Structure 1
Amino acid sequence: MYGKKPEIKSIRNRKKIRDILVNGKFYKTKSLKFYFLKNDNLGSDLEFLISVPKKKIKLAVTRNYLKRIIREVICNNNQILNKLYTKTMFIVVFNKNCKIKYVKLEKEILTFTRKIEQ
């Protein structure tokens, strides 16, 4: 129906992270910051990194919960990710001081995907 499922990997290379932060574009919502870079030389279709700073969220349990929720939103919206320009790397940084609901995070990530499509 939508074609092949995009290959999604997490970014672990410091050089790629620095490249995204220096050369990439920036988009901000109420509780998330997105840095993204379109790269045709990328091995997989999408690569992402999720960051929840310890300075904002003190408890590790809450940080891990937020990372899981963000990862879940990204993986559950395969239809939208299929429509995206492939070969994209992005970093998601949580920017609030408190927990946020799944629905709000999903809404913000979907607005980001619409922004990339433009």
Structure 2
Amino acid sequence: MKFPKKEKLKSKKLIEQLFQEGKSLSSFPIKLIYLKIEEPMNARFKAGMAVPKKNFKSAVKRNRIKRLLRESYRLNKHLVFNNSEGNFAFLILYLGKEMPKYIELEKNMQLTLHKFLKKIEDE
């Protein structure tokens, strides 16, 4: 699966709305903030990744972690695409304090996406 430009979360308005109204769930070190969007979008899911500057001063390290997050999301987004209805905006935050290993990150991403599916089924 690909992660095309139309699926990337770039709207400043939508990001602010995510922080104000979004619901969150986490499986350390990943936190997922999500929001169901009513108006039609050009993609069913829009996702953004963030790594706090407080924990990683070096931009090189932050960018590497974001790259790992994007890759693990890209490979596991089929879990959400095939099993949910509606449009959602995601913001995936990395909360850890040390550089992650890709295998651990992917395992936590799968766990987080499964939790997300359970939560929207219950709503």
Shorter-normalised TM-score: what interval?
0.7 to 0.9
- Corresponding position: 1:62 with 2:47: no
Cα distance in 1 for partners of 2:94, 2:77 equals 21
Stretches of structure 2 that go unaligned for 5 or more consecutive residues are 119-123
Q: Which residue of 1 aligns with 2:116?
A: 116
Q: Which amino acid aligns with 2:27?
A: T
Q: Which residue of 2 aligns with 1:14?
A: 12
Question: Offset of 1:105 from its aligned partner?
Answer: 0.8
Change in Cα spacing, 1:78 to 1:49, as seen in structure 2 (3 Å) is: closer
Q: After TM superposition, which residue ranges in structure 1, 4 or more long, deviate above 6 angstroms?
A: none
Change in Cα spacing, 1:42 to 1:55, as seen in structure 2 (3 Å) is: farther
Stretches of structure 1 that go unaligned for 5 or more consecutive residues are none
Higher helix share: 2
The root-mean-square deviation of aligned C-alpha atoms, in Å, is 2.0
- 1:60-99 per-residue CA deviation (whole Å, 9 max, x = no partner) reads 1111111111101111124313224241111111111110
Cα distance in 1 for partners of 2:97, 2:62 equals 11
Question: Offset of 1:6 from its aligned partner?
Answer: 8.6
Give the alignment's TM-score, normalised by structure 2: 0.82
1:27 alignment partner, one of 14, 25, 28: 25
